[in-house]
């Protein structure tokens, strides 16, 4: 369960740390850090699984997030991505040149101290994740295509590793249920688990949602959320003829449902997670059913994902949530959320208003960088001996996105009980190897079965 007070307290402790750190020596800071590892060291050794742009960016973020971080291992299916990440990070650690153009680049001096990767700890192939997990790391960053997330997360938790995992955490109901079970095991083992739902760690969202939970807008009766953007990248021209079909799909992974979940799952999960968060005053929240429409109107790239969705979700109190997302070039964008209560309305990113439009709260504190703070909160919770565990909350939000996708794909009403307890849809590949990988045609409502 998400604990907004605890995250708020961690954010405050981060601010206090920043105020005092300039006056403290490195030795004093090290002496103040609690020892959290069996060897008595406060250093957290990090391994990255998934060396694409998001994974490489996460290395910069975690270095900026906290002291005494060492990056020691890299892994990816493709050797090309491992080499690119290794070269960029090595250059950045040596001179800062590898950070050029990166919006959230790590401080070069911090990165220089943290960068400990050698060529011997760079792994590729489908089993790269196991090699990273067992390379002497304390924490793994999971940034591969989401279709692999359940398998990689389960392996990391079973091996006793703390985890930061990018959202979403699965692309099918079977995968979501795997993540929920592994999250329960993580709690038993006292392992930290944080997901890439950065809004949950952004101060303006935290303070605004606190007020929603406190009743400032009354009972929530409706909401709208949007992830309307232009198209997504297509790497078809980069495919190598010697690759097998599964490798070609993994390189161009966004365009295949089993790998990305479609964009309602891969991207719009951010907004759906905010909606669940706003409804979760008394614990984990989720809709009870949904209907939806969508299609593949302007997408002509290979693969089987759609380019637009419109879903209506219903929550236990009868509140309806409209969810819109699409990838259309040349159209206005909108990525936002709007919460309607009996007493007022809210933009959960920063503002609460009366129904008349008068603003009664607007966040005015420090902005905070959610990409960095999500790592800060994970590491601080581990070092405090009370690790965060966001596994089930992101699993619920991912399942919300999946049930919306299934409703649109099939044209049927889909219930929460069905996806959580009955659906047999399974995209999880627990032991993938180079070879064939048949692609299902794009779904057709009324013909595509609900599995």
Q: What is the pairing mode between strands 162-165 and 122-124? A: unpaired
Residue 384 lies in a domain: no
Domain shared by 145 and 239, yes or no: no
Map residue 415 onto helix, strand or coil: strand
- Which pLDDT score is estimated for 11? 56
Domain shared by 143 and 272, yes or no: no
Question: Cα separation of 111 and 90, whole Å?
Answer: 9
Domain shared by 191 and 247, yes or no: no
- Which pLDDT score is estimated for 299? 94
Taking each helix axis from N to C end, the angle separating 203-213 and 4-21, rounded to the nearest 10 degrees, works out to 150
Residue 303 lies in a domain: yes
- Which pLDDT score is estimated for 6? 64
Domain shared by 176 and 239, yes or no: no
Domain boundary among 132, 166, 199: 199
Question: Cα separation of 95 and 146, whole Å?
Answer: 33
Residue 184 lies in a domain: yes
DSSP state of 107: P
Place of tokens 């999250």: 183
Question: Cα separation of 404 and 414, whole Å?
Answer: 8
- Which segment of 98-112, 172-186, 189-203, 423-437 scores lowest on mean pLDDT? 98-112
Q: Given a cut of 80, is residue 28 above it in pLDDT? A: no
- Which pLDDT score is estimated for 104? 72
Domain shared by 150 and 221, yes or no: no
Domain shared by 61 and 149, yes or no: yes
Chain mean position to CA 254: 15
Residues 279-296: b if buried by 16+ CB within 10 A, e if exposed: bbeeeebbbebbbbebbb
Domain boundary among 144, 173, 199: 199
Residue 428 lies in a domain: no
Domain shared by 247 and 320, yes or no: yes
Q: In terms of Cα–Cα distance, which of 173, 143, 164 is closest to 389?
A: 164
Average pLDDT, integer, range 84-108? 81
Q: Give the CATH number, domain containing residue 411.
A: 3.30.360.10
Beta bridge partners of 301: none
Provide the percentage of residues in the chain whose pLDDT is more than 90: 86
Domain shared by 174 and 219, yes or no: no
Beta bridge partners of 360: none
**Band of pLDDT at residue 1, cut at 50, 70 and 90:** very low
Q: Which pLDDT tens digit goes with each residue over 317-331?
A: 999 999 999 999 999
**Band of pLDDT at residue 105, cut at 50, 70 and 90:** confident
Q: In terms of Cα–Cα distance, which of 205, 229, 223 is closest to 334?
A: 229
Q: What is the CA radius of gyration of the chain?
A: 22
- Which pLDDT score is estimated for 108? 87
Q: Which pLDDT tens digit goes with each residue over 208-231?
A: 999 999 999 999 999 999 999 999
Average pLDDT, integer, range 344-351? 98
Residue 415 lies in a domain: yes
What percent helix, strand, coil does the chain show, rounded to 5? 45, 20, 40
Question: Are 366 and 15 spatial neighbours (Cβ–Cβ below 8 Å)?
Answer: yes
Domain shared by 51 and 176, yes or no: yes
Q: H or E element: which one contains 18?
A: helix 4-21
- Which pLDDT score is estimated for 20? 33
The pTM is what?
A: 0.92
Q: In terms of Cα–Cα distance, which of 48, 130, 50, 115 is closest to 375?
A: 48
Map residue 222 onto helix, strand or coil: strand
- Which pLDDT score is estimated for 285? 96
Average pLDDT, integer, range 118-128? 98
Q: Given a cut of 50, is residue 21 above it in pLDDT? A: no
Domain shared by 36 and 94, yes or no: yes
Number of domains within the chain: 2
Q: Which pLDDT tens digit goes with each residue over 241-266?
A: 999 999 999 999 999 999 999 999 99
**Band of pLDDT at residue 113, cut at 50, 70 and 90:** very high
Residue 432 lies in a domain: no
Q: Given a cut of 70, is residue 97 above it in pLDDT? A: no
- Which segment of 150-154, 189-193, 281-285 scores lowest on mean pLDDT? 281-285
Can you give the residue range of the structural domain that contains 405? 215-365+394-422
Residue 407 lies in a domain: yes
Question: Cα separation of 211 and 367, whole Å?
Answer: 17
Residue 90 lies in a domain: yes
Tokens standing for residue 184: 């329960």
Domain shared by 228 and 98, yes or no: no
Question: Cα separation of 402 and 239, whole Å?
Answer: 28
Question: Cα separation of 188 and 64, whole Å?
Answer: 29
- Which pLDDT score is estimated for 32? 34
* 301 CB burial (10 A radius; 0-12, 13-18, 19+): middle
Domain shared by 16 and 140, yes or no: yes
Mean pLDDT of the chain: 92
**What's the Cα-to-Cα distance from 114 to each of 43, 50, 60, 89, 92, rounded to whole Å?**
10, 19, 10, 10, 11
Question: Cα separation of 360 and 354, whole Å?
Answer: 7
Q: What are phi and psi of 384, to 5 degrees?
A: -80, -10
Q: What is the DSSP string of 21-35?
A: HTTS-HHHHHHHSPP
Domain boundary among 199, 226, 253: 199
Q: Give the CATH number, domain containing residue 140.
A: 3.40.50.720
Beta bridge partners of 140: 47, 163
**What's the Cα-to-Cα distance from 414 to each of 274, 402, 439, rounded to whole Å?**
21, 10, 24
In 219-307, DSSP assigns E strands to 220-229, 289-295
- Which pLDDT score is estimated for 120? 98
Sign of CA dihedral 329, 399, 348, 383: negative
In 275-413, DSSP assigns E strands to 289-295, 308-314, 320-327, 334-341, 344-347, 351-354, 359-362
Chain mean position to CA 42: 26
Q: Could you give the strand order of the β-sheet that contains 289-295, starting from the edge strand earlier in sequence?
A: 359-362, 351-354, 344-347, 334-341, 220-229, 320-327, 308-314, 289-295, 414-415
């Amino acid at each position: 369960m998400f604990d907004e007070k605890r995250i708020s307290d961690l954010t405050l402790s981060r601010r206090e740390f920043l105020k005092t750190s300039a006056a403290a020596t490195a030795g004093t800071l090290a002496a103040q850090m609690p020892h959290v590892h069996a060897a008595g060291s406060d250093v957290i050794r990090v391994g990255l699984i998934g060396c694409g742009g998001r994974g490489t960016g996460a290395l910069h973020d975690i270095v900026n997030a906290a002291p005494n971080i060492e990056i020691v291992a890299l892994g990816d299916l493709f050797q090309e991505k491992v080499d690119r990440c290794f070269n960029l990070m090595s250059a950045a650690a040596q001179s800062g040149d590898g950070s050029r153009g990166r919006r959230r680049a790590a401080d070069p001096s911090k990165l220089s101290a943290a960068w400990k990767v050698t060529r011997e700890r760079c792994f590729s192939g489908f089993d790269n994740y196991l090699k990273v997990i067992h390379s002497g790391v304390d924490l793994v960053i999971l940034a591969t295509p989401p279709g692999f997330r359940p398998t990689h997360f389960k392996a990391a938790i079973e091996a006793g590793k703390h985890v930061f995992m990018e959202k979403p955490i699965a692309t099918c109901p079977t995968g979501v249920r795997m993540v929920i079970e592994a999250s329960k095991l993580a709690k038993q083992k006292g392992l930290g688990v944080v997901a890439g739902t950065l809004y949950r760690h952004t101060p303006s969202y935290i303070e605004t949602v606190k007020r929603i939970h406190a009743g400032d807008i009354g009972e929530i009766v409706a909401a709208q959320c949007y992830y309307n953007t232009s198209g997504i990248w297509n790497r078809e021209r980069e495919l190598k003829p010697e690759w097998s079909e599964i490798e070609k799909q993994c390189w161009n992974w966004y365009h295949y449902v089993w790998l990305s979940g479609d964009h309602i799952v891969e991207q719009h999960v951010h907004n759906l997670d905010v909606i669940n968060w706003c409804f979760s005053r008394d614990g984990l929240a989720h809709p009870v059913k949904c209907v939806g429409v969508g299609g593949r109107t302007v997408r002509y790239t290979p693969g089987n994902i759609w380019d637009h969705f419109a879903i209506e979700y219903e929550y236990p109190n009868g509140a309806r949530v409209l969810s819109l997302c699409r990838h259309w070039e040349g159209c206005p964008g909108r990525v936002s959320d709007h919460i309607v209560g009996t007493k007022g309305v809210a933009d959960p990113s920063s503002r609460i208003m009366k129904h008349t439009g008068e603003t009664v709260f607007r966040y005015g504190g420090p902005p905070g960088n959610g990409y960095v703070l999500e790592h800060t909160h994970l590491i601080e919770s581990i070092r405090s001996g009370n690790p965060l565990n966001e596994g089930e909350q992101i699993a619920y939000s991912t399942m919300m996105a999946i049930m919306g996708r299934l409703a649109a794909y099939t044209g049927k009403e889909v219930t929460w009980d069905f996806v959580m307890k009955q659906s047999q849809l399974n995209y999880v590949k627990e032991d993938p190897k180079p070879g064939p990988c048949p692609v299902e045609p794009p779904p057709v409502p009324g013909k595509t079965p609900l599995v």
